Amino acid sequence: MAWKTVDKYYLGYNLATKQFYFYYRLQGETTITQFFPSAQEFIALADMFRNEGPISYNTDGNYFVTAPEAVGEGETPG
Looking at residue 69, its pLDDT comes to 82
Cα–Cα distance list, 57 to 6, 19, 24, 40, 72 (Å): 7, 23, 10, 20, 24
| pTM, full prediction | 0.82
Please, are residues 68 and 55 in contact by the beta-carbon 8 Å criterion?
Answer: no
Q: What is the pLDDT of residue 25?
A: 97
Residue 75 confidence (pLDDT): 63
pLDDT in tens, 42-76: 999 999 999 998 999 999 999 999 988 888 766 66
What integer pLDDT is reported at residue 73 of this predicted model? Answer: 64
Q: Which residues contact 64 (CB under 8 A, 6 or more apart)?
A: 6, 45, 48, 55, 56, 57, 58
Q: Domain locations in the chain? A: 3-65
